[in-house]
Homo-oligomer: A and B are copies of this chain.
Amino acid sequence: MKQKLSGSVVRSDLKLSDGRTISYYDSKQIDRTAIDSRDEAAQPGIGHLRLDALVNEWVVVASHRQHRIFLPPKELCPLCPTTAEKKTEIPDSNYEVVVFENRAPALRSPASNWALPSITGIDTPDADAAGACEVVCYTADHNTSFAKLSIQQIRTVLEAWKDRTAELSKLPYIAHIFPFENRGEEVGVTLSHPHGQIYAYSFLPPRIEQMLGAAAAHLKRTGRVLLDDVIAREVKDKERVIAQNDEWIAFVPYAARYPFEIHLAPKRSVADFTQLDDAQSQLFPPIAKEILARLDGVFGIEMAYIASWHQAPVRSGRDSMRLHWQIVSVRRQPGKLKYLSGSESGMGAFIMDLAPEQSAQQLRDVEL
């Protein structure tokens, strides 16, 4: 099945041998027909949602995932294209960008009668861990990184994020869609091939509940969108802005939690990926490359990071929540990491040793 997307990108859907769908995203005319010739594998079971009644938060218990692959050598990488010697997750011998369901997903499609239990404290029943966990392979090249992709390649990744957000939003059990990338062994990455993930939750994640509360309160109090006002402050203050073009602005947030934290947002704000227009989509790749190059340039090493896309939930906060990209690095200095220890982990109270204005200066000072 083929589908035309914006930016001249075409999606081709095929099936893997265990029934999962794999979607190829191509900016060039290519027929995708390679068949997955691996043996059929049994689908793993589904995890559970348990309520932590002390804070009224859902925790996903996914004990079927214990034996994931851990940092395989390059010749065993499951995200490289298939070769004569090795069958991988991607049956074709090359690809531009592919997306497929995680082989050991923490969240997956539930039975058709699934419903999230309403929260009633300790008595709240468990539920199947409904949702989706997808892998987004950014390139067939094992030895590169998002920052080094071509402008076209990043545009194709962006079209994949837009398309997956649109598709996952159609599923009745999906409440929130979260594209992200963990990079570096320091943040627990188990596969070094350049890739991100998409978690689609069947509940509102705790952080989103909070963002929603703050954004809705701001809208009610001022009639304005919170992120618009946040960006207006950054533009006025200037000293934390690190890059911008006609459509996007990147800054270290006023109350950054990590030594190097960058937020990137469209200047004309949108609720989620599906609302980005062509002008915004065209100007995302160059600024994405620039800010990640600045991050790597601070210490002259590939920085470990967690890059999180925040967008409005599928069915709430569409008027108040806005799309933005949050990139946090755990590196404080060469050879020193920031750890989430007692205050952050136990209390959620962050202590920042580097002033946001200092890290913004360091990021601006990088020569590209």
Contact = CB atoms under 8 A, between A and B. Distances in A.
B211 A54 contact: yes
A54 B201 contact: no
A337 interface: yes
A255 B62 contact: no
A28 interface: no
B180 A346 contact: yes
A30 interface: no
A109 to B, nearest CB: 17
Contact of A341 (B59, B60, B306, B350): B306
A341 B51 contact: no
Contacts of A54: 211, 214-215, 226-227, 230, 253
A56 B210 CA distance: 8
A257 interface: yes
A54 B207 CA distance: 10
Interface stretch (A75-83, A292-300, A351-359): A351-359
B59 A188 contact: no
A355 B63 contact: yes
Given A214-B121, A342-B180, A207 B55 contact: yes
A63 B349 contact: no
A59 B353 contact: no
A1 to B, nearest CB: 29
Contact of A208 (B215, B229, B347): B347
A3 interface: no
Interface string A187-213: 111000000010101010111101101
Given A106-B351, A256-B59, A229 B346 contact: no
Given A55-B207, A55-B214, A328 B345 contact: yes
A230 to B, nearest CB: 6
Interface string A123-165: 0000000000000000000000000000000000000000000
Nearest to A212: B55
A352 B121 contact: no
Residue from A50, A61, A197, A254 whose CB has the most chain B CB atoms within 10 Å: A61
B350 A308 contact: no
Contacts of A332: 66
A315 interface: no
B347 A257 contact: no
Interface in A329-368: 332, 336-343, 345-356, 358
A342 B308 contact: yes
A50 B56 CA distance: 26
A320 to B, nearest CB: 11
A53 interface: yes
Nearest to A198: B342
Given A52-B253, A52-B257, A255-B50, A59 B350 contact: yes
Interface in A1-30: none
27 contacts: A52-B253, A54-B215, A55-B214, A56-B210, A57-B255, A57-B348, A57-B350, A58-B255, A59-B255, A61-B255, A61-B356, A62-B351, A62-B353, A63-B354, A122-B218, A180-B346, A182-B341, A182-B342, A187-B339, A187-B341, A188-B338, A199-B342, A205-B348, A205-B349, A206-B347, A306-B346, A340-B340
